[in-house]
Amino acid sequence: MTRPWPAGAATGIGSLPGTDAGEAVRLVFGELPDLPHLPELPARGAGADLLGRGATLLVDLPVELAAGRWTFTSRLKVQAAGPWTLAAGVELRSGHRVITDHGATRDLAASLAEGLRLHLAEVASRVPGARLVVQLDEPSLPAVLGGTVPTPSGWGTVRAVDPTVVQDTLRGVLGSAPEGGRVVHCCAADVPIPLLQRAGADAVAVDAALLGDADHDMLGEAVDAGLALWLGVLPSMDATITLDSAREPIRRLWNTLGFPVSQLAADVVPTPACGLAGAGQDYVRRALSLLRDTGRSLLDDSA
């Protein structure tokens, strides 16, 4: 499969610290020239968090921030909250999560798909010639499937959603993104990789530190079927990091999976484990620089 990003590319997950959008863009394009992402700055305030950014894409489904909660009222990489994370985090006017109402969840997903389509068209018009890659952020997906999404009161949990429903809903939203550039990111444990692949994802972005031995067969089958792996190999908070600390988890996993080294740079994209909004500016700059160098070193290994 021809990827919409070059072999040896690295990228960020999305969020960065600070409030200066211009500086964030300069940082990303300077350090990650092969696959820059649209930086997100949660510190800018209400509406800049994951749910708020995702809700702005909804068409004909206005939301408001009340008492700290979002509620319904009467190659450039673009990120957006996925339908299940939105449905698990946004509340109906009744105070229940959207996910508890099948009709409301269906409407939210359809609205998100249309809003995402319009958003991508606008981005494409502003960046002529760019090949767009879309990352849906679904950190709540394992909880949705496992029935562990908490109710607003915190005293109970929402019933698990049928995997087929989850898969079909995701497919509908991913269909708004360009073929080949559909990525689903989940930095939780127990990422349902086969489900995401069946839903139409071309790549999955996961935290490499959360992958266990039990995941290897599943990962191997997915890569063999054409799925790309975006591996989070650097912590999302300040830590001591080196080129080796970013590179070794990728090489170790690839060796375990048993695929040829010549395939590595095309099928694996190094990323942070999750968003970098909570990290310091110096750490962010070093992390992005190391990820870029890691991607290029994988390309050298593949030559």
pLDDT in tens, 93-107: 888 899 999 999 999
In which domain, by residue range, is 79 found?
21-302
Would you call 180 helix, strand, or coil by DSSP? coil
User: d(Cα 269, Cα 291) in Å, to the nearest integer?
Assistant: 9
- Report the half-sphere exposure of 295 (CA within 13 A, side-chain side): 29
- Give the pLDDT confidence score for residue 113 in this predicted structure: 94
The residue type of 135 is Q
Instruction: Report the CATH number at residue 107.
Output: 3.20.20.210
In this structure, is residue 3 part of a structural domain? Answer: no
In this structure, is residue 8 part of a structural domain? Answer: no
Residue 253: its H or E element: helix 243-257
For 168-226, the pLDDT digits (tens) are 999 999 999 999 999 999 999 999 999 999 999 999 999 999 998 889 999 999 999 99
Would you call 77 helix, strand, or coil by DSSP? strand
In this structure, is residue 156 part of a structural domain? Answer: yes
**Residue 74 pLDDT class (50, 70, 90 cuts):** very low
Which DSSP symbol is given to 284? H
Class of residue 125 by CB neighbours under 10 A (exposed 0-12, middle 13-18, buried 19+): exposed
Higher per-residue confidence, 259 vs 127: 259
In this structure, is residue 7 part of a structural domain? Answer: no
In this structure, is residue 115 part of a structural domain? Answer: yes
Domain count, the chain: 1
In this structure, is residue 15 part of a structural domain? Answer: no
- Give the pLDDT confidence score for residue 73 in this predicted structure: 46
Residue 13 pLDDT greater than 80, yes or no? yes
Backbone φ and ψ for 261, nearest 5 degrees, come out as: -60, -30
- Give the pLDDT confidence score for residue 70 in this predicted structure: 44
- Give the pLDDT confidence score for residue 72 in this predicted structure: 46
Average pLDDT, the chain: 88
For 274-299, the pLDDT digits (tens) are 999 999 999 999 999 999 999 999 99
Residue 1 pLDDT greater than 90, yes or no? no
Distance of CA 1 to the CA centre of its chain: 21
Distance of CA 160 to the CA centre of its chain: 22
Structure tokens at 184: 């689903």
User: d(Cα 187, Cα 196) in Å, to the nearest integer?
Assistant: 14
- Give the pLDDT confidence score for residue 93 in this predicted structure: 82
- Give the pLDDT confidence score for residue 47 in this predicted structure: 63
The length of the chain, given as a count of residues: 303
Prediction pTM value: 0.88
- Give the pLDDT confidence score for residue 57 in this predicted structure: 66
User: d(Cα 298, Cα 285) in Å, to the nearest integer?
Assistant: 20
In this structure, is residue 149 part of a structural domain? Answer: yes
In this structure, is residue 13 part of a structural domain? Answer: no
